[in-house]
Amino acid sequence: MDLSTALVCLIIGLPLAGFFINGVLGLISSSYRENKPLIGTIANVAVFAPFLIALYLFFNHSADASAVVVTLFTWIDVGTLTVDIAYRIDQLSLLMVLVVTGVGAFIHLYSIGYMGHDPGYWKFFAYLNLFIFAMLNLVMGNNLLLLFLGWEGVGLCSYLLIGFWYKDMAKSDAAKKAFIYNRVGDFAFLIGMFMVFQTVGSLDFDVILGNLEAFSSEYLFWIGLLFFIGATGKSAQIPLFVWLPDAMAGPTSVSALIHAATMVTSGIYLITRLSEMYVLSPEVMLIVSVIGGLTAIVAATIALTQNDIKRVLAYSTVSQLGYMFLALGAGGFTAAMFHVVTHAFFKACLFLGSGSVIHTMEHVGEKLKKEGKEVDFDPQDIRFMGGLRKSMPSTYKTFLIATIAIAGIPPLAGFFSKDEILMHAFSAGLGEYAGSLYMILWGVGIATAFLTAFYMFRLTFSTFHGKFKLPEKVKEASGAESHLHESPVSMTLPLWVLAVASVIGGFMGIPNFVVETFTGQTANINLLHPWLDTIAADYPIVMGKAVEWLLMGLAVAIAAGAVWIAWKMYGEGRVEESDAVVTAKTGVFYKVWQEKYNFDEFYEALVVRPVVRFSDRVLAVFDMKVVDGFVNAVGGTVRLFGSLIRYVQSGVISSYALYLVIGVILVMAMMLS
Amino acid sequence: MLENYIPIIVLFGIAIVLAIILMSLSRLLGPYRPNKNKLNPYESGMDPVGQAKERYSIGFYLVAMEFIVFDLEVIFLYPWAVGFLDLGLEAFFAMTIFIVILFIGLWYTLKIGTLDFSMKPTLANR
Amino acid sequence: MDYLYDLNTFLPATIMAAAGLVAILMAAYKARIGNIFNFTIVALVMALAVSIRDLFGPDGTAFFDMIAYGGTAAFGAFLVTLGTLFCVVISRDYLEAIDHHYREVYAMILFGSTGMVGLAVSNDLIMLFLGVETMSICLYVLAGLIKGEKIGAESALKYVLLGAFSTGFLLYGIALIYGATGATSYAVVAGAAEATPLFLAGTALLLVGFFFKISAVPFHMWTPDVYQGTPTTLTAYFATASKAASFIALVLVLSRMIPEIEGVELTQLLQVIAILTMIVGNLIALVQDNVKRMLAYSSIAHAGYILVGLAAGTPEGYTGVLYYLFAYTIMNIGAFGVIAYYERNHALDFTDVHNYAGLGYKFPVMGVLLSVFLFSLIGIPPFVGFLGKYYVFAAAVNAGLVTLAVIGVLASAASVFYYLRVMVYLYFREPHKEYQLVRPGALFKYSLILLGILTLWYGIEPIFPTDSLIELISTYY
């Protein structure tokens, strides 16, 4: 076993081992369940160690090195289908592994504090480790099937963790919803996989991407579309995005890890992995872009109207994912991956920050209950918050940094990645194929950028600025502000780490033209493009430097303007009053946004109710009368024969001997004939 | 090939003739005073004619079975005894093992009281 | 010395025979029954170790070609010893609980297994007969263990009468074969035989003897009555070890004595018997309420599946038969074992399926185990029973006997009904009476758990290509 095999085994195996240790020991030993320090340590080591190994691999892998494939054993060998358990170390998978294990590690650390009082502590960490294992399979698998294994595995973990507090019916319903919506996408993924296998007879990435000429253009279109439909399920795009906001029912660290930083980006990873295939079908690229752009603006407008701190972040995630798909469709695969990385930093930071806030608000509620005050309020509702910056300085500062980053204010991380995406959209708009459409999408992107900055600052200001509004709103809660407190260091440390990453994360992708303008020479300051060069089949950006500067300036101006407006309206923490102003200005649109474009109701009317009615009136009847009737008839007939034959078994020994003799005659006759 | 069996047929003949002669002689020469016991087919045994459902001690069967076992042992020992010298040491050991096994069986039956008609034979129950 | 070498090849049986002699003397001297049990276990473990050694040893013949060793014969010895060991381990608590724990039981089992090993390794018709008789006489005794009750006496009497009857056919068949060829050793018979009516009649009668022992239809009538009247753990012994020995002897006869003789075509006969056995066994099992009778008919059905592999007559088929026997041994002992485990409670008659209502919750571990064994008997992956069925049916298909394989699959589909019925009672029926339960014996419980693990392990083992059991077996053919 060479070194890379051993290291890959460790990366993959440690989270799995953590899952088994915590899962099995927790299941069988109640004293182990109580030993929370040990459980937390095991789970954290199982993620931190792979992170360090991934760092080692990262620094020992040069940008132009070819992929290292580590084959552990043959998984399936049926007919012409051979699938190995094989892992791929290349630039793209290393990047994803770093994000998954890096962000994952700090979220594990955060969870020690966040889940500290939960009786299901062991189970939580077991699931979390299982998720890391599945996610690593997804990003490191060397073939589509292993990727699919991880794909389904993360879906399973997502289901388990959304419904972690399964005794609450709404939460377990949210889990089911997430799972079912994902299944719709998975179905398309499977068919796409079949078509790939039908064409090239293998599921290995090397074989697929090496034989692209074997695919007809129809196949390229359909395969691309089917994989994209799979991605819309997992990465929460229109039309399958409605599960993600509901998925916020899970513990907040889960929302940060799974529903913001890692799992939901797997669709982007998939398309980037197959980018060479996607660029061959401009129609699919256009569809991807349009869906991405639509999702971005739809989710951003919904986010504007929400009052639940986690829901705002959830819609923001959907919106940012839409951004990434917009980039993919515009040929900016590297840009999309760049945004995946930076988004993982600041969105995880935002979610963890919101978790810290919710944690404190719940604590306030408990304290008030202990004092005998009957209070009933939603600890996630920003209308009860405000003024938290004094009592929660670390949370406030990190939350603010991450908000600036997502808003696209230079030089924080979000600025660079978002700018590159818009640049690609604009560049595609100058292209020959569907140029005007791409130009519209660029406009949508700019509008979304404005909205993003606006609603994110609305969120931050109403949570942390102004006065603490709980005592004002709920009479019994007077004196509640004395219970506010900062979260423990195991929670604030990950916040700071992620905040720092949100500040400096963008520097890996500074556009080269920034430097080139000043030095006048070809610069090579962008680290990401050369790194992903061999994998991502990016469209080149065809614009003069002046246009690029102009676009960049426009993006900054838009973001800064949005921030300024938000400051004016919400800077004092007056949520409801300012929301009323927005409502008045936007009129009927606001209502549409508030009702989330009625996607859920639409599905309810179009799919759920007809299906339920059909199964109730037709399928159930068919099942009871025809299927059961047939089965019962078969069973009855067979039993009838059985009860007839049993009369032969009389118990009289002389008749037994007689049958024996008959048998002898039979055998003799057959032998001698 | 049937001529090989002629001596056996001769032996049969002699046996039959001899039996007739001896029985006739005893009938002619001896005193003849029949009574019920004397006319039984087996003088000291059971009456072969009568109710089939008659019950008698299972000890009889155990003795009979042991008799069969040792009967067969003798049948096995005879040919070995005839060829004893030719068959050599290995056959001797084999026969020893065979006899030991039989002996253990006898030992067991004696131990659980098969041949002790005064007590009811039982399995070595606890 | 040749003698010792020969003895070495026959060591598992030798150990068991010697241990049996010691055990019967211990019984005569009224040793504590626990000691006899422990002694028996030690002897069987030794025999098992030796038989595992022999699995990987050379093959050939010994005792003047009377027995074969290595290969299939070694596998037979291994299987018999394994089955015996498990049956003995689970017997102590059970026999104690039903109050029929006689000292002689263990000696009888040891002698019986000696006969079975002799049968399984026989390379000569005389040895075959000796093995059959040694085995059968011990089984007759064990069948009548519950002698105080009618059901036990009936069981033993039926078994001994019909057994003697069938042995007559077997012996007659051997005599005719000897008459036709002048030999009893398989190899010599194979060389000397021609398809004369005399030889064919002899073969037919020999097969009848076998069909009786493996309880193939229409020679199966004794099976349910005997299985029902015998103490359950010993029923497991009857159903597994003795059947495995008979089947392996049959494999040896079919593969070593018959195949080179021109004009002797057994495939059709075996096919007909297999079809009859599968259909009748499964059909009557459907209507049984007594779990032991149900398993008796199920064991008849399984004999049918194994006959499918024999009918294929190819090396692949014989490999399948050996694997199936292994699967059948562990899962069937497991199923009977769980029933015996339940029966230790005298509160209810735990051979009646209606009394299984809700038992799955009263004994959670046992409920899971019984489900595992029943699923395996159905032939559902990933349990060992599935692979057994897969190998024999695949062999039949490859040998061109597609109809036979289809009938086999349909028959095993029908079997789902009666196996699942037990599980329905275990988990989906309310218990109709409250009763106290006897607490488990650890040895009993853990040996059943081990069987459950084996059932699962060998069901998924071929996924791991190294050191697979099937690879070992397939080297024999």
Q: What is the pLDDT of residues A316-365, one digit of tens each?
A: 999 999 999 999 999 999 999 999 999 999 999 999 999 999 988 888 88
Single-letter residue type at A509: G
- Report pLDDT for C209: 94
Q: Which residues, listed in sequence order, are joined to residue A85 by a DSSP beta bridge?
A: A73
**Which residues in chain C (369-428) have CB-CB distances under 8 A to chain A?**
414, 417
Choose, out of B87, B97, B111, the residue to mutate when testing the contact with C (most C CBs < 10 Å).
B111
* Residue A492 to residue A353: CA distance in whole angstroms: 8
Task: Give the residue among A406, A401, A359, A380 at the shortest CA–CA distance from A462.
Answer: A380
* Residue A585 to residue A579: CA distance in whole angstroms: 10
Choose, out of C103, C114, C138, the residue to mutate when testing the contact with B (most B CBs < 10 Å).
C103
Using the Cβ of A647 and the Cβ atoms of chain C, whether some distance falls under 8 Å is answered with: no
A670 Cα distance to chain centroid: 69
Mean pLDDT of B9-18: 93
Chain B residues lying within 8 Å of C2, measured CB to CB: 90
Q: What is the pLDDT of residues C14-44, one digit of tens each?
A: 999 999 999 999 999 989 999 999 999 999 9
Mean pLDDT of C429-451: 82
User: Quick check: pTM over 0.80?
Assistant: no
Cβ atoms of residues A98 and A54 within 8 Å? yes
Touching subunits for chain C (3+ Cβ pairs under 8 A): A, B
**What are φ and ψ of residue A381, in 5° steps?**
-85, 125
- Report pLDDT for B125: 45
Chain C residues lying within 8 Å of A663, measured CB to CB: 208, 211, 217-219
CB contact under 8 A, C28 and B126: no
The larger pLDDT score, comparing residue A386 to residue C212, is at C212
* Residue C248 to residue C245: CA distance in whole angstroms: 5
- Work out the minimum CA distance from A83 to partner chain C, whole angstroms: 14
* C63, pLDDT greater than 60: yes
Cβ atoms of residues C337 and C447 within 8 Å? yes
Q: What is the pLDDT of residues A81-126, one digit of tens each?
A: 888 899 999 999 999 999 999 999 999 999 998 888 888 899 999 9
**How many helices and strands in chain B, by DSSP H and E?**
4, 0
Chain A residue with minimal CA distance to C416? A635
Residue C290 buriedness (CB in 10 A; 0-12 / 13-18 / 19+): middle
CB contact under 8 A, B101 and C21: yes
- Report pLDDT for C1: 53
Chain A residues lying within 8 Å of C290, measured CB to CB: none
Single-letter residue type at A91: Q
CB contact under 8 A, C25 and B123: no
CB contact under 8 A, B124 and C25: no
Cβ atoms of residues C55 and C124 within 8 Å? no
- Report pLDDT for A370: 84
Contacts of C1 (CB under 8 A, 6+ apart): B90
Question: How many residues are given for chain C?
Answer: 477
Chain A residues lying within 8 Å of C169, measured CB to CB: 664
Touching subunits for chain A (3+ Cβ pairs under 8 A): C
Contacts of A344 (CB under 8 A, 6+ apart): A99, A103, A260, A261, A262, A265
Using the Cβ of A658 and the Cβ atoms of chain C, whether some distance falls under 8 Å is answered with: no
Extents of the domains making up chain C: 1-260, 265-477
CB contact under 8 A, A642 and C285: yes
Using the Cβ of C182 and the Cβ atoms of chain A, whether some distance falls under 8 Å is answered with: no
Using the Cβ of C9 and the Cβ atoms of chain A, whether some distance falls under 8 Å is answered with: no
CB contact under 8 A, C201 and A668: yes
* Residue B84 to residue A536: CA distance in whole angstroms: 94
- Work out the minimum CA distance from C111 to partner chain B, whole angstroms: 12
* Residue A602 to residue A521: CA distance in whole angstroms: 55
* Residue C298 to residue C415: CA distance in whole angstroms: 8
Number of CB atoms found within 10 A of residue B46's CB:
12
Mean pLDDT of C72-80: 94
Q: What is the ipTM of this complex?
A: 0.88
- Report pLDDT for C466: 42
* Residue A138 to residue A133: CA distance in whole angstroms: 9
CB contact under 8 A, C24 and B123: no
The continuous run of DSSP H or E covering A68 comes out as strand A68-78
> Tokens 């179009």 appear where?
A606
Closest CB to C200: pick one of A646, A664, A671.
A671
- Report pLDDT for A1: 63
Indicate the angle between helix axes A435-464 and A393-407, nearest 10 degrees: 160
DSSP codes of every residue in A569-605: HHTT--HHHHHHHHHHHHTHHHHHHHTGGGHHHHHII
**Which residues in chain C (271-300) have CB-CB distances under 8 A to chain A?**
272-273, 280, 283-287
CB contact under 8 A, C28 and B124: yes
Helix extents (H) in A386-434: 388-391, 393-407, 413-429
* Residue C433 to residue C423: CA distance in whole angstroms: 19
The larger pLDDT score, comparing residue B120 to residue A256, is at A256
Extents of the domains making up chain A: 140-600, 608-672
Cβ atoms of residues C94 and C340 within 8 Å? yes
- Work out the minimum CA distance from C102 to partner chain B, whole angstroms: 6
- Report pLDDT for B1: 63
Touching, A vs C (3+ Cβ pairs under 8 A): yes
Radius of gyration over alpha carbons of chain C, in Å? Answer: 21
3-state secondary structure of B26: helix
Using the Cβ of A633 and the Cβ atoms of chain C, whether some distance falls under 8 Å is answered with: no
CA dihedral (C458, C460, C462, C468) positive or negative:
negative
For the CA atoms of B109, B110, B111, B117, the dihedral, rounded to the nearest 10 degrees, stands at 100
Q: What is the pLDDT of residues A371-395, one digit of tens each?
A: 877 777 888 888 888 888 888 999 9
Cβ atoms of residues C358 and C430 within 8 Å? yes
Confidence of residue B119 (pLDDT cuts 50, 70, 90): low
Chain A residue with minimal CA distance to C201? A668
- Report pLDDT for B118: 66
* C468, pLDDT greater than 70: no
- Work out the minimum CA distance from C37 to partner chain B, whole angstroms: 14
Cβ atoms of residues C183 and C189 within 8 Å? yes
Confidence of residue C347 (pLDDT cuts 50, 70, 90): confident
- Residues of chain A short of pLDDT 70, as ranges, are 1
- Report pLDDT for A577: 83
Confidence of residue C407 (pLDDT cuts 50, 70, 90): very high
Alpha carbon of C65 to those of A521, C60, C137: distances in Å?
A: 94, 9, 25
DSSP codes of every residue in A326-384: HHHHTT-HHHHHHHHHHHHHHHHHHHHHHHHHHHHHHHHHHHHHHTT------TTBGGG
Token pair belonging to C182: 């002048």
Terminal Cα-to-Cα distance of chain C (whole angstroms): 30
CB contact under 8 A, A667 and C197: no
Chain C residues lying within 8 Å of B101, measured CB to CB: 21
